[in-house]
Amino acid sequence: MSLKKNTMQKIAVIGCGTMGLGIAQIAAMQQHQVYVYDSNPIALQNAKIKLQKTLDSLVEKTKITNEQSLLYFQQVNWCEQIENISNCDLVIEAIIEDFEIKKQIFAKINLLVSPQCIIASNTSSLSITSLAACVSHPQRFIGIHFFNPAPIMPLVEIIPAIQTDTNTISTATAIVSNWKKTIVQAKDTPGFIVNRVARPYYGEAIRIYEEGIATKEQIDQIMKNEGGFRMGPFELMDFIGHDVNYAVTETVWKAFYFNSKYTPSFSQKRLVEAGYLGKKTGRGFYIENESKDKLIEVDSELSRTVYERILCMLLHEAADALYYKIASRDDIDMAMAKGVNYPKGLLQWADDFGIEKCVSILDYYFDYYHEERYRCSVLLRNMANDRINFYN
Ligand SMILES: NC(=O)c1ccc[n+]([C@@H]2O[C@H](COP(=O)([O-])OP(=O)(O)OC[C@H]3O[C@@H](n4cnc5c(N)ncnc54)[C@H](O)[C@@H]3O)[C@@H](O)[C@H]2O)c1
C-alpha cells in the first residue's frame, strides 16, 4: 500500500498520555509520518503497546486489515529525544496541563523546528495566546482541542491566539478536516465552547442536589427522561472523573474572574479530596456496581422544575457565548451535539423550548435567589422582546 500524499507529511505529537496517543493514532491512520515524543520512556513504551492493541482490536472488528494495521503502526516513530521532531510540519503538544512545563517544552520545540512549522496545543484550559507568546513567530501558533477519546469523538475546536495569522488557521483547519473531524472555531476565552457552555449541566445539577430539591438519582433520571441526555449529570461527572471535571470548573471560574455562574461546589471538592474520583476509582457520587438503573419515583412537577432549571441555565450559557462572539450560532450548536453528545444544539433547543419562556424562568430564579448567576443573557432578553428566534 502506498503512502497517501498528505500536504503535511510529518506530524509531531508531544506527550503520549490519553490524548497524545489518541492524536498520534489519528495521524498515523491518515498515513502521516508521526513522531511521538514523551519525557517519560515508560510512557512511551506503554503507548507503543497500547497502540498495537488498539490496531489489533480494529483488525478483529474488521474495521481495518492486517496490512493497514502494520502500515499504521510503522508510521509512528517513538522518540526518546525531542530533537527527532525537528523536520516536522505540525507539532501538537499534549503534555501535562501546567503552564510553566508547557512553556519549557515550547521553548525547546521553538529551537528545533522551522519558522514555518505550525505549533499547536491541545490544552483544555490555558490561554492559547499565553502559549503562543512562548514561541518565536507566534503567528504560526494555534489551539487544536480534541475530545476524549480523540480517535472516536468527532469534534475538534480550533482556537486561534490573538497572534495567529489566517494562513495558520486555514492550514490547521484543512489538516484536521482531512482527518474527518468536525471543526468548530472558538475565540480564545476560558473553556472555549464546550467546556464553557456545558458547565451548568454539572453546576446547576449539583446546586439543586445540595439544596435538597431533588436527589442525584432523581436529577439523573429527569435529565435523561425529560431532556434526552444520554447520561444524567452525576453519572456523567463520575464517568469523566471528578479530578478532571472539578479542575475544569475551577479553572473556568478563576479565569472568568470568579464569575458566580461557574462557582465550583463543595460536594465535588470533597469527592476529589477523598479520592472518590468516579468510575476510575470505583466510587464517586455513586458507588460502582450500585444499581443506578432502577426507576425512581419523581412527581411530574419536580421533574419539570428540575429539567427546566438546568436546561434554561444551559440555554443562557449558549446564548451568552453567541452574544460575546465566542463562536458562531452553528458552531456552538455543532460543538454541543458532537463534543458532548447533547441531543440537539442548545440554540436550536432555545427556539424549540421558547425564548420568552426561558427568560421568564431565569428571571424567576434571579428574583428568588437575588444571585448574579441567574441574570439572564441580554441576548435572550432582547430576542424575547423582539420575538425572534436563533433559527427562522
Ligand atoms: N484527558 C482529557 O479528557 C483531555 C481532553 C482534551 C484535552 N486535554 C488536554 O490534553 C493535554 C494532555 O492531557 P492527557 O489527559 O493526555 O494527560 P496525560 O496525563 O494522560 O498525559 C500527559 C503525558 O505528557 C507527558 N509529559 C509530561 N511532561 C512532559 C514534558 N515536559 N515533556 C514531554 N512529555 C511530558 C507525560 O509523561 C504523559 O505521558 C492537557 O493539556 C489536557 O488539558 C485532555
Q: How far is the CA of 20 from the centre of ligand 1 (A)?
A: 7
Q: How far is the CA of 118 from the centre of ligand 1 (A)?
A: 19
* Helix, strand, coil fractions of the chain, as percent rounded to 5: 55, 10, 35
pLDDT in tens, the chain (392 residues): 444 445 568 999 999 999 999 999 999 999 999 999 999 999 999 999 999 999 999 999 999 999 999 999 999 999 999 999 999 999 999 999 999 999 999 999 999 999 999 999 999 989 999 999 999 999 999 999 999 999 999 999 999 999 999 999 999 999 999 999 999 999 999 999 999 999 999 999 999 999 999 999 999 999 999 999 999 999 999 999 999 999 999 999 999 999 999 999 999 999 999 999 999 999 999 998 776 667 788 899 999 999 999 999 999 999 999 999 999 999 999 999 999 999 999 999 999 999 999 999 999 999 999 999 999 999 999 999 999 999 97
- What is the reported pLDDT for 3? 40
Q: How far is the CA of 381 from the centre of ligand 1 (A)?
A: 41
- Ligand 1 atom 26: residue of nearest CA: 95
- In one-letter notation, the amino acid at residue 179 is W
Q: By the 8 A CB rule, do 163 and 135 touch?
A: no
268 lines ligand 1 (CB under 6 A): no
The CATH fold assigned to 10-185 is: Rossmann fold (3.40.50)
Q: How far is the CA of 18 from the centre of ligand 1 (A)?
A: 7
The CATH fold assigned to 195-237+250-269+296-386 is: N-(1-d-carboxylethyl)-l-norvaline Dehydrogenase; domain 2 (1.10.1040)
C-alpha–C-alpha distance, residues 15 and 59, integer Å? 26
Spell out the domain ranges in the chain.
10-185, 195-237+250-269+296-386
Nearest atom in ligand 1 to the alpha carbon of residue 104 is 31
17 lines ligand 1 (CB under 6 A): yes
- Ligand 1 atom 41: residue of nearest CA: 123
Element (H, E) at 37: strand 33-37
339 lines ligand 1 (CB under 6 A): no
Q: Which of 123, 124, 128, 195 to mutate to test the pocket of ligand 1 (most atoms within 8 A of CB)?
A: 124
Question: Residue 159, Cα to own-chain centre: how many angstroms?
Answer: 12
Q: How far is the CA of 103 from the centre of ligand 1 (A)?
A: 14
95 lines ligand 1 (CB under 6 A): yes
46 lines ligand 1 (CB under 6 A): no
What is the sign, positive or negative, of the torsion defined by CA atoms of 357, 363, 367, 373? Answer: positive
Q: How far is the CA of 188 from the centre of ligand 1 (A)?
A: 20
C-alpha–C-alpha distance, residues 209 and 216, integer Å? 6
C-alpha–C-alpha distance, residues 100 and 87, integer Å? 25
C-alpha–C-alpha distance, residues 76 and 13, integer Å? 10
- What is the reported pLDDT for 1? 43
Which positions are annotated as active-site residues?
124, 145, 157, 195
Look up residue 372 and give its DSSP letter: G
pTM recorded for the entire structure: 0.93
15 lines ligand 1 (CB under 6 A): yes
96 lines ligand 1 (CB under 6 A): yes
Pairing state of beta strands 10-14 and 155-160? unpaired
- What is the reported pLDDT for 258? 96
- What is the reported pLDDT for 295? 75
- What is the reported pLDDT for 125? 86
107 lines ligand 1 (CB under 6 A): no
148 lines ligand 1 (CB under 6 A): yes
- What is the reported pLDDT for 236? 95
Nearest atom in ligand 1 to the alpha carbon of residue 16 is 39
- Ligand 1 atom 30: residue of nearest CA: 39
- What is the reported pLDDT for 289? 78
- What is the reported pLDDT for 153? 94
- What is the reported pLDDT for 293? 64
Q: Which of 21, 23, 38, 106 to mutate to test the pocket of ligand 1 (most atoms within 8 A of CB)?
A: 38
39 lines ligand 1 (CB under 6 A): yes
Q: How far is the CA of 98 from the centre of ligand 1 (A)?
A: 9
14 lines ligand 1 (CB under 6 A): yes
C-alpha–C-alpha distance, residues 117 and 91, integer Å? 7
